[in-house]
Chain A
Amino acid sequence: MKRRKFDMAAAPGNSARAIDDRFQVATPLRRLLNKVFPDHWSFLLGEIALFSFVVLLLTGVFLTFFFEPTMTEVIYNGSYAPLRGTPMSAAYASSLDISFDVRGGLIMRQMHHWSALLFMAAIVVHMLRIFFTGAFRKPRETNWIIGSLLFWVGFLAGFTGYSLPDDGLSGTGLRIASAIMLSIPVIGSWLTSSIFDGEFPGTIIISRFFIAHVLLIPALLVALISVHLGLVFKQKHTQWPGPGRTNGNVVGERMFPRYAIKQGGFFMVVFGVIALMGGLFQINPIWLFGPYEAWVVSAASQPDWYVMFLDGSTRLMPDWQIDIPIGDGYVIPPLFWPTVVLPGILVMLSLFYPFMEARYLKDYRSHNLLQRPRDVPFRTALGAMAVTFYLILTLTGANDVIADKFHISLNAMTWAGRIGLLILPPLAYYVTYRICLGLQQHDREVLAHGVETGIIKRLPDGRFVEVHQPLSAPDEHGHTELEYAGWVVPKKMNRLGALGPAIRGFFYPIEKPAEAPVSPGHPPVEPRPEREEIGSGETRR
């Protein structure tokens, strides 16, 4: 019998062949490797959310190994001396143990909390990017809806998560949540009683929140995120207008290797920043709040930032109680409007916005090119209005702290919020609209007359005028006007490659003139062979 020799060099090829024989992956794999992605910094915002979600899963799994989701009363006997001997729930005691008695537990807890905040922040900023650039338009309405839902599911994930430690602060939040559910007409008391299994707080809510927080909601998030990414992949990314870019193509880089490598590096950077924050910045120091006791609260009890707008709306709501005089009488408490109706309206508005806008504009075509916010003033202004509304509510969520720190009357803060909520959003709409129009006009001006050079010329009759550099060579009529292409108009001379070369290098100059900045996706502008610095007679090579 002859021993077969093993050919090391042929092994990869052979195994690749063996795999393809069985699974026929060569063609789809090539397609995947080749898929083209457009590149722009603002396309990375959603990825911050994705990456912080991965960190959330990693740190969250760690925390479940040590957290005890029960409300059984125990006497604390851990390392943190000030609370020793205090009766508390097992949930709070085990959260303290994670912070003090599990080696490295505190950094995991803090990383988990920071990445949750970052997750929500990235979702919001990503959503704003999508909104202001019109990326939600047909064919991407579904993904806009999924994205909006992701915010609210993330909101739930965050709320159930920070309620789990059962500390003084989160217990107060839970108390308010129960009051919110209680305020719903007709079914309120039944709903609350069913969720808490009796009167607040009961003995089971932490266990129920736990399973929602570690299984149901993450499963929903994973499902939504998967569909979200799948659709981005299937529908291909939107792109900014620019040279060679049309509604029917994608201009960018192939996914592998450069694009994928950049993604991987970016993930590591996000992860690293979360680790730094988790280690250096204290967050939610539950040991200072003590266990939840129904009769204890301190001033400046604020929820996590993404919940603060609801806190704010609750504070601004006037005491309008609706009494229904039937039988023994029924009540709709004022709490119902800012905490149930308002979020309901916000959800609906965001879900249906793409369809409302399409209907309003009678625009039912597919759009793969983004719009600059200035080019759609009404949408940009609407967005500014919404952001203003949200910011006022969020700030109002902290109005007691603001009143305290700046020595303002608390009641004045509330009234300022009430009035501001009505006046400022429309004002923001108007101002934004005007700014958009102004920016549009300036773009057209530069396209028509050229870039301001900063050079003042004196005319023979004594007038002074500024010299403009036209953007194109004059045609047969001597006109240099250009069409607006939906993309950045160069407005400074150094955007045109003028002026002297910028000197690069930190300690010593690198002897190569800097390239003129270009938008990604078209070849760099070749510098002129010899360039002179304006102003000095000395020529630099």
Chain B
Amino acid sequence: MSTQTGQSTRPGQEPIDVNDPQVSRFDIVREGARRDDIEIVHYEHQVAPGSKAERRLVRTVAGFFLLTGLAATAFLVIYIWWPWEYQPGRGGDKLFTPLLGVTLGVALLGIGFGILTWGKKLLPKEVSIQDRHEGAVSTEDRTITGQTMLYMADELGVRRRPLLGMSLLAGLVPVGAVAAAPLVGGLISDPHKNNQMMTTGFSPQEGQKIRLVREDGRPIRPADISAGGQITVFPGVEHGVSNRYADSPTLLIHLRDADAEDSRRNNEREGHGGYMWGNYAAFSKICTHAGCPASLYEQQTNRLLCPCHQSQFLITDNAKPIFGPASRRLPQLPIEVDAEGYFVAKSDYTEPVGPDFWERP
């Protein structure tokens, strides 16, 4: 059925009798559309019913659906029987997820392309025009609605009885605050509790200086690091090597003689004399920019690079920032060696560790 509508079927035409058995179903559809201000102006079968092209398309669509069935079955078979448990090394289990993906993907694409072919190729093409009816709301309607709402205000009489409005407001504001109070009160937490922003795990406990320990908890002797080497150290306290002391990881560096000389001189200048022990210096590993561990140490240039935003710090000059977005030097940990020959922190860091904040002194 190909219908090309001309001028004769524009709106204004007599509505048809939908109960008339003579009227075709399409005519009823078109009548319905017209009642919604839609004109079907072009309606055309893309393939002739019963034609070779139609049969071919039907076969294609059916093929897609059958492919879906096949792939979905394969998915189930693989899901149930494929050896999926993780084994070290190469093995069939590494194929489990890819196979699931391929079978599921093919199954879904099969439905998708099947439906698309059905809709795009087998269904008649049409062009319909619908009116937008913008500005259909008359100004009169707007006036009526506006007046109705104003009348509601009149009925409530807020203007005439101002006490009502005031008291309602006075009542509602505290109620709103009540709603917010538990949320704010429950969540709020003082950032300066126990002076936590200024202290780290290296702060001496009961007069006892804190040892520098490795990741496995063993203390460190100066001989453990060769010249030019560096090691990440932690406070030798309980859970010192964990995220509970996320601001404490420190880089202990054994500088070569010439660099150590520079470093010491620059330390003196900043009033940090005695922070180093011999050729050893310890700097906070937590970047003063965004808190990543600044962990890439270039031995030749004594630069420390933070891999997150590429701030670079010059270790021999109090770890001051020399490139990138960081604006503050890495705090230095004053260190010495205790009676048993292990590194300890002389005191806690003398500057706040980690990313900068408003009230940092």
Contacts and interface: CB of A to CB of B under 8 A. Distances in A.
Contacts of A80: 86
Q: Most chain-B Cβ atoms within 10 A of its Cβ — which of A268, A292, A317?
A: A268
Interface string B81-111: 0001110100000000111111011111111
B122 to A, nearest CB: 10
A329 B361 contact: yes
Nearest to A510: B53
Interface string B185-220: 001111111001100000000000000000000000
A8 interface: no
Contacts of A410: 305, 310
Contacts of B102: 276, 279-280
Contacts of B354: 179, 200
B129 A189 contact: no
B327 interface: yes
Contacts of B85: 79, 101
Contacts of B358: 184-189, 330-332
21 contacts: A34-B33, A103-B79, A182-B357, A190-B189, A190-B190, A198-B189, A198-B196, A201-B246, A248-B131, A249-B132, A254-B128, A265-B112, A268-B112, A269-B113, A275-B101, A275-B108, A276-B101, A279-B97, A279-B101, A294-B246, A368-B134
Contact of A30 (B32, B112, B193, B328): B32
Contacts of B100: 104, 107, 279
A414 B327 contact: no
A400 B197 CA distance: 31
Contact of B112 (A182, A184, A271): A271
A523 B104 CA distance: 39
Interface string B221-265: 000000000001010000000110111010000000000000000
7 A-B pairs closest in CB distance: A279-B101, A268-B112, A272-B108, A261-B119, A276-B105, A295-B249, A265-B115
Interface stretch (A115-123, A156-164, A318-326, A447-455): A318-326
Nearest to B245: A294
Nearest to A179: B355
Contacts of A334: 289, 325-327
A333 B134 contact: no
Interface of B: 32-33, 35-36, 38, 40-42, 79, 84-86, 88, 97-102, 104-116, 118-120, 123-132, 134-135, 187-193, 196-197, 232, 234, 242-243, 245-247, 249, 285-286, 289-293, 295-296, 305, 307-311, 321, 323-328, 354-361
A251 B38 CA distance: 9
Contact of B310 (A200, A318, A328, A414): A414
Interface in A287-346: 292-301, 311, 314-321, 328-335, 338
Contact of A400 (B88, B307, B325): B307
A273 B249 contact: no
A317 B289 CA distance: 11
Given A189-B191, A295-B232, A366-B135, 17 more contacts: A106-B97, A236-B130, A252-B127, A261-B118, A265-B111, A269-B108, A272-B104, A272-B105, A272-B106, A311-B309, A319-B327, A333-B289, A333-B328, A334-B325, A335-B325, A414-B324, A521-B127
Interface string A165-185: 000000010011011101111
B112 A272 contact: yes
A189 B197 contact: yes
A475 B123 CA distance: 41
B238 to A, nearest CB: 13
Contact of A319 (B187, B247, B321): B321
B344 to A, nearest CB: 19
B324 A257 contact: no
A269 B309 CA distance: 39
B126 A200 contact: no
A368 B113 CA distance: 32
B292 A107 contact: no
A279 B107 CA distance: 13
A267 B108 CA distance: 9
Contacts of B129: 36, 244, 249-251
Contacts of B126: 253-254, 258
Contact of A189 (B119, B323, B359): B359
A264 B307 contact: no
B313 to A, nearest CB: 11
Contacts of B360: 329-331
Contacts of A521: 127
Contact of A317 (B86, B234, B325): B325
A386 interface: no
A315 B243 contact: no
Contacts of A269: 108-109, 112-113, 116
Nearest to B85: A79
A315 B324 contact: yes
A411 interface: yes
A335 B134 contact: no
Contact of B84 (A31, A103, A195, A198): A103
Contacts of B305: 410
Contacts of B131: 248-250
Given A250-B132, A295-B232, A410-B310, A199 B246 contact: yes
A198 B193 contact: yes
A269 B106 CA distance: 9
A262 interface: yes
Given A265-B116, A279-B99, A331 B356 contact: yes
A35 interface: yes
A320 B327 contact: yes
A272 B111 CA distance: 9
Contact of B191 (A190, A319, A321): A190
